[in-house]
Homo-oligomer: A and B are copies of this chain.
Amino acid sequence: MKIVCSQSDLLKAVNIVSKAVPARTTVTILECIKIDARENDIVLTASDTQLSIETRIEGTIEERGMVALNAKFFSEIVRSLTSNDVTIECDSSYKTKIICGKAKFETMGRSGEDFTALPLVSEEHPIVISQMLLRDIIQQTIFSISDSNDQKPMTGEQFKIEDNHLRIESLDGHRISIRNVLLNEDLNPEPVKYDVVVSGKSLNEVSKILTGGADDQVRIYISKPAEDTMNETRFIRFDFDKTKVVSTLLPGGYYNIDQMVSSEYQTKVRINRRELLDCINRANLLYTVEGKKEPFVINVTDGLMELNIRTMNSSFDEKIEIEKEGLDINIAFNPKFLNDALRVIDDEEVTFYFINSKAPCSIKDDEETYIYIILPVNR
């Protein structure tokens, strides 16, 4: 194999596929990036078996072939090169030369044959969404997945699509995050219906490599449930720019979130988001410094929210002006959970809905494009 491409294109592609290289693995071929120039395109691939990423780069194929190179070493090499043309050349024993200007690296590659191909996902009924919007709604919900493997579905996010309406949900037992978006009907002329749980780790990586704007699109393909076998793995594929990302779907169902969302409330509070976030960050110091998880108490009266934490040696108090409807309330939270939700909302003002001091509170806008539900802490 012998290919020539620009260092900047190569670096961009290596950075994208590297997201799928496992941090630790006993299968050494998975530590590699496969460079496939057997056909007319130069295609880079990496995979940790759950998540596979493939991306194409512009370049000249002087001799067709394929090689797999250690991902860490190869990406460091590419990063170290000057912005010039890079030649990658390997012989039949996979000894590989990487040449750029007067610098030349030589290293032992491996046959790319051991690398499994990207799982096939039927290209019927895609969902088309802007890159920016998909990145945003992932980042606005991903923080409330669970990292515990005891509750497998909690490690993913539910994607619910029906009638041009996409809803992403995540929950970790203490809080729920929901984002609702309407899909563009021109781009999504056929009505589709899906209800799948996507691995949170994969979504996290997808959101990092989705660098496009509002006008750049992602096509999402979801494999159909198999009718004959119970155990067949299903996949989701994200196509954008020159990249394809395929991730396994989590098996089994998800939680019935609708049942946990209530529109009843006794107290409605409108508050400046920035002021509240700054206050929570200050309050959080008592958590991080003293290491004790004392409740962060919120006391709502007419026009005023008083917030405080008391630990053995220290205390914090702050008052913020608010608009209030309904009853006074005294309720306590883990400030981290409030912070996580408030930090991903774009609105200048946010609205809290409280039922009572034991029931979950919600933060949502009138159109319910976002709903964050947070359990209070017991005192």
Contacts and interface: CB of A to CB of B under 8 A. Distances in A.
A72 B103 CA distance: 48
B106 A314 contact: yes
Interface in A75-130: 76-77, 80-82, 102-108
A285 interface: yes
A70 to B, nearest CB: 8
Contacts of A288: 76
Interface in A277-320: 278-279, 281-282, 285, 288-289, 313-320
Given A80-B282, A285-B73, A107 B313 contact: yes
Size category of the A interface is 20 to 34
A318 B107 contact: no
Given A285-B73, A285-B76, A319-B102, A82 B278 contact: yes
Interface string A58-81: 000000000000101100110011
Nearest to A82: B278
A76 B289 contact: yes
18 contacts: A70-B289, A73-B289, A77-B282, A77-B285, A80-B281, A80-B282, A81-B282, A82-B278, A103-B282, A103-B317, A104-B318, A105-B282, A105-B314, A105-B316, A106-B314, A106-B316, A106-B317, A108-B314
A315 B279 CA distance: 55
A102 B318 contact: yes
A106 B104 CA distance: 62
Given A80-B282, A81-B282, A82-B278, A105 B315 contact: yes
Nearest to A309: B105
A314 B81 CA distance: 16
Interface of A: 70, 72-73, 76-77, 80-82, 102-108, 278-279, 281-282, 285, 288-289, 313-320
Contacts of A319: 102
Contacts of A278: 80, 82
**Most chain B beta carbons < 10 A, residue from A105, A288, A313:** A105
Contacts of A320: 102
Nearest to A320: B102
A15 to B, nearest CB: 16
A304 B102 CA distance: 12
A110 B82 CA distance: 57
Nearest to A289: B73
Given A82-B278, A278-B82, A104 B316 contact: yes
A206 B56 CA distance: 50
Contact of A107 (B76, B104, B107, B314): B314
B104 A317 contact: yes
A70 B70 CA distance: 48
A19 to B, nearest CB: 19
Nearest to A316: B105
Q: Which 8 A-B pairs have the closest CB atoms?
A: A107-B314, A80-B282, A103-B318, A106-B315, A73-B289, A104-B317, A102-B319, A108-B313
